[in-house]
Structure 1
Amino acid sequence: MSDADVIVIGAGPAGLACAAQLGERGLRASVLEKSDTVGPVWRRHYDRLHLHTDRGHSSLPGLPMPRGYPRYPSRDQVIAYLENYAAHFRLAPTFGCEVRMLRREAGLWHADTTRGRCAAPQVVVATGWADAPHRPTWPGQDDYRGSVIHSSEYRRPEPYRGQRVLVVGFGNSGGEIALDLADAGIDVTLAVRGPVRILPRDLLGLPILTWAIGQAWLPPRLADAINAPAIRLAIGPTRGLGLTIARKGPRRMIAEDHRVPLLDVGTLDRIRQGAIHVRGGIGHFTREGVAFVDPHGEGRTVPFEAVILATGFRADLSRLLPQATDTLDNQGSPRITGMPTGVPGLFYCGQIPSPTGQLREIGIEARRIATFASRMLKERADPA
């Protein structure tokens, strides 16, 4: 592989946006992707998935999503858009190229990959977080006779017909997978361990993201206080549904905990109708099902033939960047994204959830990274 001005790791939305913006500024970007195509994570998502952010705020820099797309594009439409984006900017990622380690030496970042080595003055880690499934375990799980998969492995409801299915977790994947199963007439239960936050996907006829962008300048606590009455009215009553609404508002939850609230696309209605059951946290597995823990600590066992873990993702980058662990938190996630990290030539893009839309934030970060990278390269060439 030939050397470049910048190594970009990942050919998902963040990697493509960064490579395109770097190219617009005359920098040579070498995009390394361990899969065999662009947007690999999007291709592995479940069939039903649509963007939870609206088309108008989800385009990457330099190429709007097609006007013919609906307000919330489908998974397949997003994949087609990413393919068109790569073609539009003539991006040619090196596929089948997994980066095992990045190390800085003599002013260059060296990437040790499955296809050899390459080096560049700067590197952008744009791997995202949805490529590292988090799979918690519980006592008795090894003895359980049903199937257990992560939500990243779920595609469609047909294989679960005639089964009782437990979906663990009440984030966007958990809520939508439970809805997908319920709409197919499958007996489905949600395991919800703690307090949750729920947002309507649209508020007063506008995408919820529009409100978040308009209030981005407000402190999270104040924005949450202002929005609370309208959100309560939009989502309707939740008492008696088995859900506890978190005291911390959605903006604070994202900013402080990096947790994204559920954007409801119909899950709450199906819970109200009894098509989706809600239980508490899992205490332990049995051979035939799961024992739940109620608020009083007493277990109640329910049989299930299948369990789907919608328990999120945790990308630990400490092995990839052993020389830059001070840029990571104690779980191996970047402390800052879209800005200089304090380590020369190292950037992260799209690694932290954003209240104003992940794809929108990726675009903002990509432009910013390209500006910093261009400036740093000029300073390197002309230190005076």
Structure 2
Amino acid sequence: MIQNLIIGAGPAGLAMAGALRHAKKDFYMIEKSHHIASKWHAHYDRLHLHTVKEYSHLPYMPFPDTYPTYIHKSDLIAYYESYAAQWDIKPHYNKEATKIIKHDNKWHVHCGDEILIAKNVIVATGINRIPKIPHWKGQENFKGEIIHANKYKNAIPYQDKKVLIIGMGNTGAEIALDLAEHNVQVGISIRSKQSIVPRDLFGRPIQKTAKILDTLPFDLGAHIGNIVRKLYFGNLAKYNIPIHTEPPIKMLRETGKTPTIDLGTVARIKDGSIHVHADVSHFDKTSVYYTNGDSSVIDAVILATGYLTHLETLIEESKNCIDQKGEPIKKCNPGNQQGLYFIGFDNYKTGGILGTLRDDSAEITKSIVATSE
């Protein structure tokens, strides 16, 4: 029987493996793809971390001093590969967990025709497990291309095309910026009220400022941050960008909604390089129609509409450990499910998910060590 089964060889799974190795506890890791950090291999070309390197490294191994404040995905992948080598992490590739079932106080993890039996299961499949793909009336008749943002690489295929990004989270905003910087005609459909912050303020990463403000009492830091944000961006309503009245820090803590970290998208909207549209209503063969009655002739649509964890399809009897949003109720033994753990799902902190991995892997390791003694 496997003592500690880790599902997923992304950053969360690697953090967990490193923490267990440091505690001299054995583990068995499975990964559905053929390499570690598969999602990072697949991301668009220009992507850098939006979080600073001091808060984003894995346990017991800081980033090299030569790395910049905001790390490019290629350097991040190299770091993860070095981390795996450092801690002797050797995933079993091309093994996808399709069902997790508890039977006779042991966890049975189905991987195709194989069943792995484990005392403890650590789920590290991530919040970006399954692309969320909405459907609109008339979409099937649209003659242009529709892809999810997880398939976007760069602006090269979109030269001389009219492109619409649906969704203005971090991914949608940066893809729109990438296209605008390469002189592609691009618009962005905003589906809900936005919470936007600058990546840097007066030469200082906003993440560091947010961590300081987050320690102030009575939500004072949140309100200060809101005032500064308004002064920095000005009145975005006149550019048809609906803005949340709640401070970004407060929204993050209470809802897990990560603010859009602006890398220059707002400036491109202000100068007209990126056109802002209302939410999508429906499609026809050549055009996209919006809820305010406007329409655009469009050649390609990129869905920056987010992802689903789909943990409820993975874990049998999940109602006691997964909430209505599909997120784990807690990291360790949720719903009295002894031996079941989750890492890489806490989206409620200013350090981002990568910033939670060191503490969460330590907490889970402590629980595993305690139950093994």
TM-score interval, smaller chain = over 0.9
Task: Name the CA distance, whole Å, in 2 between partners of 1:67 and 1:284.
Answer: 50
Residue of structure 1 equivalent to 2:24: 26
Residue of structure 1 equivalent to 2:90: 92
Residue of structure 1 equivalent to 2:315: 321
Q: CA offset at residue 174 of structure 1? A: 0.3
Unaligned 5+ segments in structure 1 are 379-384
Q: CA offset at residue 218 of structure 1? A: 4.8
Residue of structure 2 equivalent to 1:83: 81
User: Are the equivalent residues in 2 in contact too, given 1:292–1:300 (CA < 8 A)?
Assistant: yes
Task: Name the CA distance, whole Å, in 1 between partners of 2:115 and 2:77.
Answer: 29
Matching residue within 2, 5, 17 for 1:4: 2
Q: Which amino acid aligns with 1:328?
A: I
Matching residue within 37, 49, 53 for 1:55: 53
Q: Which range is displaced more, 58-67 or 219-228?
A: 219-228
Q: CA offset at residue 69 of structure 1? A: 1.1
Q: Which amino acid aligns with 1:204?
A: F
Q: CA offset at residue 233 of structure 1? A: 2.4
Q: Deviations over 1:40-77 (max 9, x none)?
A: 01111100110000111111111111111111010111
Residue of structure 1 equivalent to 2:265: 267
Q: Which amino acid aligns with 2:312?
A: S
Q: CA offset at residue 217 of structure 1? A: 4.1
Q: CA offset at residue 150 of structure 1? A: 0.4
Task: Name the CA distance, whole Å, in 1 between partners of 2:241 and 2:53.
Answer: 31
Q: Deviations over 1:174-211 (max 9, x none)?
A: 00000000000000000002210101111233212212
Matching residue within 348, 357, 364 for 1:362: 357
Task: Name the CA distance, whole Å, in 2 between partners of 1:75 and 1:116.
Answer: 33
Q: SS of 2:368's equivalent?
A: helix
Q: Which amino acid aligns with 1:261?
A: P
Residue of structure 2 equivalent to 1:147: 145
Task: Name the CA distance, whole Å, in 2 between partners of 1:252 and 1:207.
Answer: 19
Q: CA offset at residue 115 of structure 1? A: 6.2
Q: CA offset at residue 223 of structure 1? A: 3.1
Task: Name the CA distance, whole Å, in 2 between partners of 1:87 and 1:71.
Answer: 24
User: Are the equivalent residues in 1 in contact too, given 2:226–2:248 (CA < 8 A)?
Assistant: no
Q: Does 1:38 align with 2:36?
A: yes
User: Are the equivalent residues in 2 in contact too, given 1:221–1:249 (CA < 8 A)?
Assistant: no
Matching residue within 322, 343, 347 for 2:341: 347
- The 5 Å alignment of 1:115-154 reads 116-154=114-152
Task: Name the CA distance, whole Å, in 2 between partners of 1:159 and 1:70.
Answer: 30
Q: CA offset at residue 231 of structure 1? A: 2.0
Q: Which amino acid aligns with 2:350?
A: P
Q: Deviations over 1:313-337 (max 9, x none)?
A: 0111112111232111124321223
Q: Which range is displaced more, 327-336 or 272-281?
A: 327-336
User: Are the equivalent residues in 2 in contact too, given 1:9–1:126 (CA < 8 A)?
Assistant: yes
Cα pair distance change 1:17/1:362, threshold 3 Å = same
Name the TM-score, length of structure 2 as normaliser: 0.96
Q: Which amino acid aligns with 1:364?
A: D
Q: Deviations over 1:52-107 (max 9, x none)?
A: 00111111111111111111010111111111111110001110000111112222
Task: Name the CA distance, whole Å, in 2 between partners of 1:309 and 1:343.
Answer: 36
Name the TM-score, length of structure 1 as normaliser: 0.93
Q: Which amino acid aligns with 1:344?
A: Q
Q: Which range is displaced more, 217-226 or 57-66?
A: 217-226
User: Are the equivalent residues in 2 in contact too, given 1:34–1:96 (CA < 8 A)?
Assistant: yes
Q: Which range is displaced more, 251-260 or 57-66?
A: 251-260
Residue of structure 1 equivalent to 2:245: 247
Residue of structure 1 equivalent to 2:176: 178
Task: Name the CA distance, whole Å, in 2 between partners of 1:69 and 1:376.
Answer: 39
Q: Does 1:225 align with 2:223?
A: yes
